[in-house]
A and B are shown apart, each in its own frame.
Chain A
């Protein structure tokens, strides 16, 4: 395999940054500390959260005029006191070893900050170190939150426990073509796929690092595959085939509406190169989309709404959640469609169903209407207990902005989702912990080496997906397959 091109600097650099920060702060000693009852103006907000042991340091800054900080991490094994300048940037090794020793413990964090020469102690907050780890890698698409024009798009993979990030596909190498969400099979880097648009594009299927370029359309399915998910066997995948139309809102808080004029479901057999449809999920009077397999591979969950005159009736377009059985060996769709969540009853529109790998929970998003929730501020996550049918509105998780595009961790104890909670425009990956009783906790954003990163970047983190192992390809191989190989035709 060709050498990977790591974007982030090496460990030495981390130390250097830390030393510089330390020196910049001149390690001032707090004197005459005054206690303040004000909540700590910390960004990102890492107060009172559940964290895994394999998370990168939760570096932060204070949104005030603080020019020096002293941060005390108090665990059961030891207490660490660190001095910083304006930004708290923890040394990676120290962080890692500290968390490993504190599994299952509650850490108390106290920040003392110097503001205009005076030292203030903020109320302490807590980090509960849970034993369940996050999957080791996360991939996402970096794109500016535009309308119809895109320019630079990259798919990147980031290691959860460090800040190392690498480009796995770059549209600079592929004639500027758009590239869509990157999804995994069985949460492993050894099986994944994404759609690469453009003249020489196709669906790029990665199986153990061997790449195939597929044309998932044929004469009877000219629209091509859009949203999809792998069957647990890895030999099949289910997709929706959508004709997507963008429309623009007149109001400030809304940006873009996207709706489908047609959409059906199809199963792709990667081995036999054929597409399998069902009359149940290819109805002309229904829009079927966002299909996903259940972890046992016996059911396909999807969203569907009756066709309405669009865009005029867009506000009446509400998708329900359904499931249809599937037989892996015969590769046959079932006959009976079951309603899982009724849009009429709940007066909302469901999107992106994803079932936890242990099969217990169904996580999905609900917007007021439509099928493009990322610009709907009211969009929230919901979690259905598949045994009881009970729906949790996840008050600790949701915000007043769009919370959507979620992905489960392989142990079903974590999920990541894209939230626009900070500014309503730029999506960022947030992690939420789910305990053994199914309770979801306050989420926290993917930490960055420079806590100011999210202030500076103009990219949205789209469609975050978790995986237990690293992907076995890089951007150069994507460039090669885009330019040099013909797409395999499916019947």
Chain B
């Protein structure tokens, strides 16, 4: 008796620790993956939204998953949800295994499906709909196991199969497998005679329903069999996803068919647990991608306008992907540091400053942020619109809706802005913002007074011309020409030509900043100016700019080493890696 209670406590503590580990992982180590998910859906509390989900298999589970995913807006809330979901699955598996007569020895295996789902969810395109579908399928199986009347159980199974298929989609095979295995274990209540004959019937019906659904819906059979919305790319079925489904299908029943070892049970339990812990941990570690998490963090912080946090993050670890560098440069520009500190961080050319347009749903996001803050409202709108349009599973984006509402408000396109805002008013976390933004519709005076929109209205182009992505410096120049107080446009223009290593254009554009209120020449400009000077003059006499002593000394030493040493790069790198000269001469 005491032992039983002891084991119960141990199991409870194991589940609790498992839940805490999940929560810590997503809340602390992987939070921006949750923000990433949240921005690629727009859960609406409208009858139409739920009605749309009823019309295809798995839509209802997807609805529940999307409802929960909206809470990812707050990473810790998302982490809690994932912890609850995965622990619930583990508990369901454990309950079913016990009910089917599995030995307590196999208890650690109840964690296996949840561990596999954890691995699956590390993929930024893995959606919560799969774990939710598994919960619902296991719940249906639990009810089936609770029915004691054998004929009642069969009737329930036959009725539940099509219903469950429509609710969860492909994960309903878990239910079918569970039922089939249930007929094979002794502890299950069974009809007199041969209960096995029902197994092929279930299996045949199991295959039949997706085939029937193909006639009712417009989804390919692969999606109907494996789930329509478990993965963001509709026609991709990752192996780990299939493995998680198989594990959830087999784990409840299989241990009942396996006898525990005759001797040294505790040792074997320890070994199985250690294997799961080590194997699962290693797999999760291997599946997680800190580089992606870092990029998502930069994007999230840029979205939330947390410029200082971006710079602090970069100071701790210099980003090197164009995606992250883009956000960093934006943060530097927004805090007035782009001219001074741009080369203090790794730069990968203009692609890290204003990336060229790619037809995907992620890369245009930070570029849209840049255009927005610069005042290139149409380009910001275009990039955000295209990003949303490129979301592979056709979902909408709360983030995109907000930006599109803003750009339309700034452009005075109030009817279109209202369309986006009305939709946002049906959400949980964007509602308040949308309602406030509605008060700006048709209110020119209020928009003019808005600290951000008012300025962007003044900064945006007012003359029409065809925008050229390939002549970005010219586009930035036109923006500056339109509003001569747009310091950010000036800094981006100079940063653009510096990163292109186009010193001729730099010298042409540099004088345009004379009335922008600088109290000193930004360091990178000083470095460029003195470099140009040294190319044409033997010394610093007659230098027309106020260049700091540090820069003058630096360029002299840099030039001396560069011209005297055959392989000067390793010598110059420690001291001059953060200068324009190093970027100019050594960065490819």
Q: How far is the CB of B446 from chain A (nearest CB, A)?
A: 18
Q: Does any Cβ of A come within 8 Å of B462's Cβ?
A: yes
Q: How far is the CB of B285 from chain A (nearest CB, A)?
A: 35
Mask of B420-442 contacts with A, CB within 8 angstroms, 1/0: 00110000000000000000000
CB neighbours (8 Å) of B379 from chain A are: 248, 250
Chain B residues lying within 8 Å of A425, measured Cβ to Cβ, are 413, 415-416
B151 within 8 A of A: no
**A residues near B386, Cβ cutoff 8 Å:** 146-149
B389 with A144: CB separation less than 8 A: yes
Q: Which residue of B lies closest to A145 (CB)?
A: B385
How many of chain B's residues have a CB under 8 angstroms from any CB in A? 41
In the complex, how many angstroms separate the beta carbon of B175 from the nearest chain A beta carbon? 27
Cβ contact within 8 Å between A149 and B390: yes
Within the complex, the shortest CB–CB distance from B548 to chain A, in Å, comes to 38
Closest to A148 in B: B386
Question: Is B471 part of the contact surface with A, judged by Cβ < 8 Å?
Answer: no
Q: Is A71 an interface residue (CB 8 A)?
A: no
Q: How far is the CA of A422 from the CA of B413 in the complex (A)?
A: 11
A424 near B390 with CB under 8 A, answer no
Report the separation of the CA atoms of residues A255 and B404 in the bound assembly, to the nearest whole angstrom.
13
Please, how many angstroms separate the alpha-carbon atoms of A247 and B464 in the complex?
12
Q: Choose one: B220, B461, B466; the contact of A257 (CB below 8 Å).
A: B466
Residues from 297 to 326 in A contacting B, C-beta threshold 8 Å: 311, 314
A1 CB within 8 Å of chain B: no
Shortest C-beta distance, A167 to chain B (Å), equals 7
CB distance from A148 to the nearest CB of B (A): 7
Measured between alpha carbons, how far is A144 from B377 in the docked complex, in Å? 19
- A458 contacts the other chain (Cβ, under 8 Å)? yes
Alpha-carbon separation in the docked complex, A314 to B464 (Å): 12
Q: A311: which B residues are within 8 A, CB to CB? A: 466
Contact A253 to B467, CB < 8 A, known contacts A146-B386, A151-B390, A173-B218 = no
Contacts of A149 in B (CB 8 A): 359, 386, 389-390
A132-154 CB contacts (< 8 Å) to partner B: 144, 146-152
Q: B460: which A residues are within 8 A, CB to CB?
A: 252
- Would you call A252 and B389 a contact (CB within 8 A)? no
CA–CA, A379 and B465, complex, Å: 18
Q: CA of A97 to CA of B415 in the docked complex: distance in angstroms?
A: 36
B423 touches A456 (CB 8 A): yes
Q: Give min CB distance, A45 to chain B, whole Å.
A: 14
Residue of B nearest to A474 (CB): B218
Please measure, in the bound complex, the distance between the C-alpha atom of A144 and the C-alpha atom of B216, giving whole angstroms: 25
**Which of B359, B396, B416, B466 is the one whose CB lies under 8 Å from A249?**
B466
A97–B359 Cα gap in the complex (Å)? 51
- Specify which chain A residues have a CB less than 8 angstroms from the CB of B376 in the assembled complex: 250
Task: Verify if A254 is at the interface (C-beta below 8 Å from B).
Answer: yes
B394 at interface by CB-CB < 8 Å? yes
B-facing residues in A157-191 (Cβ within 8 Å): 167, 170, 172-173
User: Contact check: which of A147, A253, A455 meets B411 at CB < 8 Å?
Assistant: A253
- With a cutoff of 8 Å between Cβ atoms, the chain A residues found around residue B217 in the complex are 5
- Among B219, B389, B415, point to the contact of A423 (Cβ < 8 A): B415
A475 contacts the other chain (Cβ, under 8 Å)?
yes
| B48, B390, B460, B466 — most chain A CB neighbours (10 Å) | B466
Question: Which residue of the partner chain B has the closest CB to A254?
Answer: B464
Question: B218 near A251 (CB under 8 angstroms)?
Answer: no
Give complex CA distance A91, B394 in Å. Answer: 33
Residue B215 CB within 8 A of the other chain? yes
B359–A148 contact, CB under 8 A? yes
Roughly how many angstroms separate A476 CA and B461 CA in the complex, as a whole number?
47
Report whether A248 and B461 are in contact in the complex, using a CB–CB cutoff of 8 Å.
no
Question: Given contacts A172-B218, A248-B379, A252-B378, are A423 and B359 in contact (CB under 8 A)?
Answer: no
Q: Please give the distance in Å from B49's CB to the nearest CB on chain A.
A: 10
Contact B416 A423 (CB under 8 A): yes
Q: Which residues of A contact B422 (CB under 8 A)?
A: 455
Knowing A149-B389, A247-B466, A251-B462 touch, does A5 contact B378 (C-beta < 8 A)?
A: no
* B236 CB, min distance to chain A CBs, angstroms: 13
Report yes or no: B218 in contact with A250, Cβ–Cβ below 8 A.
no
B419's contact among A251, A255, A455, A476, by CB below 8 Å, is which? A455
Contact B378 A250 (CB under 8 A): yes
By a CB distance below 8 angstroms, the chain A residues around B220 are: 173
Q: Check: A3 CB closer than 8 A to any chain B CB.
A: yes
User: A residues within 8 A CB of B411?
Assistant: 252-253
Number of interface residues of A (CB under 8 A): 36
C-alpha gap A311/B415 in the complex (Å): 30
CB distance A424 to B413 under 8 Å? Answer: yes
Is residue B162 contacting chain A, with contact meaning CB distance below 8 A? no
Instruction: Decide if B280 is an interface residue (CB 8 Å cutoff).
Output: no
A234-262 to B contact mask, C-beta < 8 Å, 1/0: 00000000000001111111110100000
CB distance from A484 to the nearest CB of B (A): 14
Chain A contact surface mostly? loop
| Chain B residues positioned under 8 Å from A144 (CB to CB) | 385, 389
CB closest chain-A residue, reference B44: A456
Q: Enumerate chain A residues within 8 angstroms of B467, measured Cβ to Cβ.
A: 247-250
Q: Which of B369-391 contact A (CB under 8 A)?
A: 376-379, 382, 385-386, 389-391
Q: How far is the CA of A147 from the CA of B416 in the complex (A)?
A: 16
How far apart are B374's CB and chain A's nearest CB, in angstroms? 12
State in angstroms the CA–CA spacing of A251 and B391 once bound together.
26
CA of A154 to CA of B220, assembled, Å = 16
Most buried by B among A167, A173, A252: A252
A5 to B55, CA, bound (A): 12
Check if B390 sits within 8 Å of A5, measured CB to CB. Answer: no
Write out the residue numbers on chain B whose beta carbons fall within 8 Å of the beta carbon of A146: 385-386, 389
Bound complex: CA of A151 vs CA of B461, how far in Å?
A: 29
CB of A248 within 8 A of CB of B378, answer yes
**Which of B359, B385, B396, B465 meets A250, CB within 8 Å?**
B465
B355 surroundings in chain A (CB, below 8 A): none
For the complex, give the distance between the alpha carbons of A425 and B382 in Å: 13
Cα A172 to Cα B46 in complex, Å, equals 25
**CB within 8 Å for A152 and B394 given contacts A248-B379, A425-B413, A456-B423:** yes
Which chain A residue has the least Cβ–Cβ distance from B364?
A149
B554 at the binding interface (Cβ < 8 Å): no
A146 to B391, CA, bound (A): 13
Cα-based distance from A476 to B214 in the complex (angstroms)? 10
- Whole-angstrom distance between the alpha carbons of A150 and B385 in the complex? 10
Contact (Cβ within 8 A) B389 A3: no
A151-B390, A167-B218 as given contacts; A249 in contact with B385, CB under 8 Å: no
Given contacts A146-B386, A149-B386, contact A5 B216 (CB under 8 A): yes
Q: Which residues of chain A come closer than 8 Å to B389, judged between CB atoms? A: 144, 146, 149-151
Task: Verify if B463 is at the interface (C-beta below 8 Å from A).
Answer: yes
Nearest Cβ in chain B — how far from A80, in angstroms?
28
Q: How far is the CA of A352 from the CA of B463 in the complex (A)?
A: 29
Output the residue of A254, A255, A423, A476 with the most chain B CB within 10 A: A423
Is B150 among interface residues, defined by CB-CB distance under 8 A? no
Shortest Cβ distance from residue B62 to the other chain A in the assembled complex, whole angstroms: 16
Q: Which residues of B contact A422 (CB under 8 A)?
A: 415
Contact A250 B464 (CB under 8 A): yes
C-alpha gap A476/B385 in the complex (Å): 30
Which chain A residues border B461 with CB–CB below 8 Å? 250-251
User: Can you name the residue of chain A whose Cβ is closest to the Cβ of B360?
Assistant: A149
Give 23 A-B contacts (CB < 8 Å), ordered by A residue: A5-B216, A5-B218, A147-B386, A149-B389, A172-B218, A247-B466, A248-B379, A249-B378, A249-B464, A250-B463, A250-B465, A250-B478, A252-B378, A252-B411, A252-B412, A253-B413, A255-B382, A424-B415, A424-B416, A456-B46, A456-B48, A458-B396, A458-B419
14 other A-B residue contacts (CB within 8 Å) besides A151-B391, A251-B462, A254-B464: A146-B386, A149-B389, A149-B390, A150-B389, A151-B390, A167-B218, A173-B218, A249-B378, A250-B466, A250-B467, A251-B463, A253-B411, A422-B415, A455-B422
What is the interface of chain B, defined by CB distance below 8 A to chain A?
Answer: 46, 48, 215-220, 234, 357, 359, 376-379, 382, 385-386, 389-391, 394, 396, 410-413, 415-416, 419, 422-423, 460-467, 478
Closest 6 pairs (CB-CB, A-B): A252-B411, A423-B415, A251-B464, A149-B386, A250-B461, A248-B467
